[in-house]
Amino acid sequence: MCQMGEDYGEPAPGEPPPAPRPSREQKCVKCKEAQPVVVIRAGDAFCRDCFKAFYVHKFRAMLGKNRLIFPGEKVLLAWSGGPSSSSMVWQVLEGLSQDSAKRLRFVAGVIFVDEGAACGQSLEERSKTLAEVKPILQATGFPWHVVALEEVFSLPPSVLWCSAQEPVGSEGAYKAAVDSFLQQQHVLGAGGGPGPTQGEEQPPQPPLDPQNLARPPAAAQTEALSQLFCSVRTLTAKEELLQTLRTHLILHMARAHGYSKVMTGDSCTRLAIKLMTNLALGRGAFLAWDTGFSDERHGDVVVVRPMRDHTLKEVAFYNRLFSVPSVFTPAVDTKAPEKASIHRLMEAFILRLQAQFPSTVSTVYRTSEKLVKGPRDGPAAGDSSPRCLLCMCALDVDAADSATAFGAQTSSRLSQMQSPIPLTETRTPPGPCCSPGVGWAQRCGQEACRREDPQACIEEQLCYSCRVNMKDLGLGLAGDPGLSD
């Protein structure tokens, strides 16, 4: 029963209590001596030096635990200018320096993709962004590449074909590669003078002309890209399209310059949001590739995510304390309302839940770590399972007695798409679809296809999520009962 004098001014139960600030008497939880300057979680207060050691250890441990990057291997760092990718480049830069206790042994390069045309920026705004980007790239000392998103129109059709996957190196292969690398370093050091440092191991690069790299792309390509993104009906499809084009462009640049690995700066918070978003987009079968440490779906180039143990809060504190340079570049969802797309809605949901329950991101992230990749996408030679033309994931073909209309329809269409030619044999990669009047057998050796409609062939080689995005692009999926409004 209500009583007089009761205090009803207490905060609502759903509101989190304010985080306590470290007092002058509180000490660092690691060294127990210095005064803390940052609080990562409740009770985890670190001083400046201990926080740096903690941050660097998480990055090195992620690379050392998986052991996918061999000594002397060329790795392309995908830098967007944001906080996470900037911190990743900074970690690699410090790890390759001579002052590092345990130096990294791979050869690094950096790539920046100019997405201004997709975001509606003018040429002046894009030039201003590139003027801020290039000094940072030059300061790293790595070979760097600046490409415009419009260059996707110049990519060869082979980017839509999954190259034959090489067997993943085992534990013994990694140790053998390390021993060979150390022996080579010892021989070079004994041959005359000290052995080369990691920065000197990189092959000499021709001088890059900033003026040539600053030249805008062709006006026709810029107009075509702008029209493509303007034709997209939803912001969700626009973000998925941008991610697909960016991935294909980065992978093509990696292949063209001899890089076998691509590093992205996806943080723990970003991967937790991506996991929930992909579930909503119908990509649950591909979560292990979309959020795991390594992504081998592209075959010859492997995508790795070494920042997946760092939260956005840790990244922000590290960049602030150690003056890591970054560049703000507007995205397609900049200033978009919360319910404008599935990506924005899921991001707002996760971040708001994280503010009330600080273990939300870590719980979702730990769940993603338990996801195992299916055996059909393993590195076994001769894997001829049909793959999506856009995201390159293996198509989830249901059994003939599937309970869904979409699954039954997909099964009947894809039952004849198994290529009779193993991927290990040398042949010319096929085009994306049949040309009018030209049978598919003359393009890729698949005898079953004799369609005159190129769009029908493309639709049959897309996963469910990519088919929905094609519908939002206005390309039409008439007659598909599983995707009709």
pLDDT above 70 covers a percentage of the chain that reads: 65
Residue 481 pLDDT > 50: no
The average pLDDT across 7-25 equals 56
The pLDDT value recorded for residue 18 is 58
pLDDT in tens, 318-334: 999 999 999 999 999 99
**Which of 245, 253, 206 has the alpha carbon at shortest distance from 74?**
253
Distance CA 412, CA 199 (A): 54
| 162-171, 180-189, 425-434, 448-457: least confidently modelled range | 425-434
Biggest CA–CA distance in the chain, Å, is: 91
Dihedral angle over CA of 237, 286, 284, 481, nearest 10: 60
The pLDDT value recorded for residue 392 is 81
For 260-281, b/e burial (b = at least 16 CB within 10 A) is bbbbbbbbbbbbbbbbbbbeeb
Tell the CATH superfamily of the 68-163+212-369 domain: HUPs (3.40.50.620)
Strand 302-304, strand 261-263: pairing: parallel
Residue 73 pLDDT > 50: yes
Q: What is the band of 19 on the pLDDT scale with cuts at 50, 70, 90?
A: low
The average pLDDT across 349-378 equals 84
Residue 186 pLDDT > 70: no
The pLDDT value recorded for residue 43 is 76
pLDDT in tens, 55-71: 999 999 999 888 899 99
The pLDDT value recorded for residue 385 is 67
Distance CA 259, CA 329 (A): 26
Distance CA 112, CA 133 (A): 8
Please calculate the CA angle 297-299-300 and round it to the nearest 5 degrees.
Answer: 140
What mean pLDDT, rounded, does the chain reach? 76
The average pLDDT across 218-226 equals 91
The pLDDT value recorded for residue 391 is 82
pTM over 0.85: no
As given in the structure block, the two tokens for residue 103 are 């130096």
Residue 470 pLDDT > 70: yes
- The answer to whether 288 touches 372, Cβ cutoff 8 Å, is yes
3-class SS letters over the chain = CCCCCCCCCCCCCCCCCCCCCCCCCCCCCCCCCCCCCEEEECCEEECHHHHHHHHHHHHHHHHHHHCCCCCCCEEEEECCCCHHHHHHHHHHHHHHCCCCCCCCCCEEEEEEEECCCCCCCCHHHHHHHHHHHHHHHHHHCCCEEEEEHHHHHHCCHHHHCCCCCCCCCCHHHHHHHHHHHHHHHHHHHHHCCCCCCHHHHCCCCCCCCHHHHCCCCCHHHHHHHHHHHHCCCCHHHHHHHHHHHHHHHHHHHHHHCCCCEEECCCCHHHHHHHHHHHHHCCCHHHHHHHHCCEECCCCCCEEECCCCCCCHHHHHHHHHHCCCCCCCCCCCCCCCCCCCCHHHHHHHHHHHHHHHCCCHHHHHHHHHHCCCCCHHHCCCCCCCCCECCCCCCECCCCCCCCCCHHHHHHHHHHCCCCCCCCCCCCCCCCCCCCCCCCCHHHCCCCCCCCCCCHHHHHHCCCCHHHHHHHHHCCCCCCCCCCCCC
Q: For residue 151, report the phi and psi dihedrals to the nearest 5 degrees.
A: -70, -5
The pLDDT value recorded for residue 314 is 95
**Which of 127, 176, 166, 178 has the alpha carbon at shortest distance from 148?**
127
Residue 181 pLDDT > 80: no
The pLDDT value recorded for residue 371 is 85
The average pLDDT across 328-341 equals 91
Domain coordinates of the chain in residue numbers?
23-54, 68-163+212-369
Instruction: Give 262 or 417, the one with higher predicted confidence.
Output: 262
- The answer to whether 369 touches 291, Cβ cutoff 8 Å, is no
Q: What is the band of 379 on the pLDDT scale with cuts at 50, 70, 90?
A: very low
pLDDT in tens, 423-469: 344 334 444 444 433 433 334 434 445 455 555 666 677 887 888 77
- The answer to whether 378 touches 167, Cβ cutoff 8 Å, is no
Residue 197, CA distances (Å) to 194, 202, 259, 416 in order: 9, 9, 20, 54
The pLDDT value recorded for residue 223 is 93
Distance CA 293, CA 307 (A): 9
Instruction: Give 110 or 191, the one with higher predicted confidence.
Output: 110
pLDDT in tens, 286-305: 898 899 999 988 888 999 99
Instruction: Give 243 or 446, the one with higher predicted confidence.
Output: 243
Residue 384 pLDDT > 80: no
- The answer to whether 296 touches 260, Cβ cutoff 8 Å, is no
